[in-house]
Amino acid sequence: MDGLPILEESGLSYASRNRQINFEGEEVPVMHACGHDMHMTTLVGTAKMLMDNRDSWSGSVMLVGQPAEEIINGAKAMLEDGLYQRFGVPDYAIGLHVSSGAPSGLVTVREGIVQSSSDSVDIKVRGIGGHGAYPHQTIDPIYVSSQLVIALQGIISRQINPLSPAVITVGSFQGGSKHNIISNEVDLQLTVRTDSEKTRDEVLGRIRETAANIGRLNGLPDDLLPVVRMGFESTPTNINNSDAVRKVLPVWEEQFGYDSLLTSQRPGMGAEDFAYFTQTEHKVPGVFFSVGGTPPQLMREIAAGRTNAPPHHSASFRIDPNSVKAGVEAMYTAAVELLNNP
């Protein structure tokens, strides 16, 4: 479930050797390079703990194995499929993600914003192609796109309140076929991250305007202005409910013995479609937490500056299987606490 098209080079005895057919019909190597195998194992373990201790809690538990977190569409698809209509709207939602680079088993949680919103945006920049030696007879989409890439960063730096974080990354810029040919079109792929719905709407709206205006600036007629596509891969900001976090925190502190599990640090503007279970129409209070996945020996080497933790989505990604235990314990105790003391 939720593997990535990467040839695993972790060196582990149980490294993936599987291959699968992707959406485009190509055969690709697949591996769990983000830890969704750990997440699903934790879910099964939590189910077992709940059933083994059936007399210590009352209520109903819904275990959700959402199928497509990587493309941030799995939670949305389940809700559209009537998850909450068919099984009821839960009083709370709990979720976790394993984290490479944090000590194995270390459970951390924060109040408020946990992850940013994410929107994939496709822009098709059209031009009028021709000979590379006669640019004046063409409208060069590579030149238009280059201006657009620069102008997009102006949205972040000049148009959005600097106190509201936002990111636009142009992750793909594809166009042209040969040195001396001015092509007809360029395809850009963007990811957009924000921390609030207001900023999100603003940035997405500005992207549409900027694309059209850069097209006009270059003399493109209205029927050849850039085509902007959005809304096909997106998730709102993932926000933890502070009351729910404060209910769970003392139980975890007692169980794991840390002074504080609250972390104020966010490493960047990662996204998580768990937000659909909590932020959309039903407003279910959520607790989304992180479980460290890097073994102690490797953490010591990292601390000594000798190596780095293999990052998520890399071929060498590997997670300490012991992190499953902490994940199950945290998930189980949080569930029991919220079931018994809602």
Residue at shortest CB range from Zn ion = 34
Return the number of the residue (34 or 78) whose C-beta is nearest Zn ion: 34
Return the number of the residue (185 or 272) whose C-beta is nearest Zn ion: 272
Interface with Zn ion, residue 30, by CB under 5 A: no
Return the number of the residue (32 or 247) whose C-beta is nearest Zn ion: 32
Return the number of the residue (145 or 323) whose C-beta is nearest Zn ion: 323
Interface with Zn ion, residue 98, by CB under 5 A: no
Q: Which stretch binds Zn ion (CB under 5 A): 29-37, 125-133, 269-277, 288-296?
A: 29-37
Interface with Zn ion, residue 96, by CB under 5 A: no
Give the separation between CA 36 and CA 24, rounded to whole angstroms: 22
Q: How far is the CB of 40 from Zn ion (least distance, A)?
A: 14
Q: How far is the CB of 191 from Zn ion (least distance, A)?
A: 13
Q: How far is the CB of 70 from Zn ion (least distance, A)?
A: 5
Of the residues 30, 34, 224, 331, which one makes contact with Zn ion according to CB under 5 A? 34
Q: Which stretch binds Zn ion (CB under 5 A): 27-35, 78-86, 154-162, 205-213?
A: 27-35
Q: Which stretch binds Zn ion (CB under 5 A): 26-34, 72-80, 137-145, 189-197?
A: 26-34
Interface with Zn ion, residue 106, by CB under 5 A: no
Q: How far is the CB of 69 from Zn ion (least distance, A)?
A: 7
Q: Which stretch binds Zn ion (CB under 5 A): 34-42, 92-100, 223-231, 284-292?
A: 34-42
Which residues of this chain interact with Zn ion, rule CB under 5 A?
34
